[in-house]
Amino acid sequence: MGTGTATIFVEMNGIRGTKLIRTLPNFGGSWGGEFRETACQSSGEFVHIQPCDSPWDLGTTFTTLTLTQNGDSVSGSFRFGPYDVSGVVSPEGTLSLTGTTRNGFTRQLQNARFELAQNGQMTGTFEEFWSSGTTSVSGSLRIFHDLRDMTRVRGE
C-alpha cells in the first residue's frame, strides 16, 4: 500500500457512514542493498586524521536494514554501525530515521530520508555524523550517503 488517503464507506439499513483514513507504505521487514558515499566534511582534529581523503572514499558498501512498523512509527536496526534506529513515516510517505552508537566516538545516523519506489525498492539519503566521546578531541566528521538498490529480503 502506498502513501495517500482512502475513504471507507459503510451502508446499513439506508444509513451511510464514511471514514477517511491515511494509507502508508510498508517499510517493515529486512532490506538489503548498497549505499554510496557522496561527500565528506571534517573539522577540528578530524581534519588531521584525513578521513575524507581515505582510499574508501566515495566507495559503495552493502548494508542491511531490519525494520518493524506499527502504524507510522518504525524502529529497527541499520547494520552499518550498528545503529538502533527509529522514526516516523511523514505524510508524504518518506521515512526519517535517527540512531546513535558509541565506540569512543559518538556516531549518529542523521537526516535519513528513505522512500519506497514503485518497483518495491527503497531509495534515499542519510548522513553519518561523528563527534568525540571525550573532550580531548575536538571537531566533527560528517559523511553524506546515497542509498541505492535496497530490496526487501524478508517480510511483507
Mean pLDDT of the chain: 83
Has residue 86 been placed in a domain? yes
**CATH value at residue 38:** 2.40.128
Give the count of domains, the chain: 1
Q: Which residues contact 133 (CB under 8 A, 6 or more apart)?
A: 102, 104, 105, 106
Per-residue confidence (pLDDT) for residue 9, from 0 to 100: 92
The pairing of strands 83-89 and 73-78 is antiparallel
Residue keyed to cell 457512514? 17
Has residue 16 been placed in a domain? no
Has residue 6 been placed in a domain? no
CA 3 to chain centre: 17
Has residue 12 been placed in a domain? no
Region 40-66: mean pLDDT is 75
- The amino acid occupying position 135 is T
State the residue range of the domain holding 88.
26-154
Per-residue confidence (pLDDT) for residue 2, from 0 to 100: 67
Separation CA 93–CA 76 (nearest Å) = 18
Has residue 125 been placed in a domain? yes
Model's pTM, two decimal places? 0.75
Has residue 7 been placed in a domain? no
Per-residue confidence (pLDDT) for residue 105, from 0 to 100: 75
Ranked by mean pLDDT, the top range of 12-26, 50-64, 80-94 is: 12-26
Has residue 15 been placed in a domain? no
User: 65-117 pLDDT, tens per residue?
Assistant: 899 999 889 999 988 778 889 999 888 888 888 888 876 678 888 888 888 88
Q: E strand or H helix at 134, and its extent?
A: none
Phi and psi torsions of 70, nearest 5°: -130, 100
Has residue 131 been placed in a domain? yes
CA 76 to chain centre: 10
pLDDT band at 149 (very low <50, low <70, confident <90, very high): confident
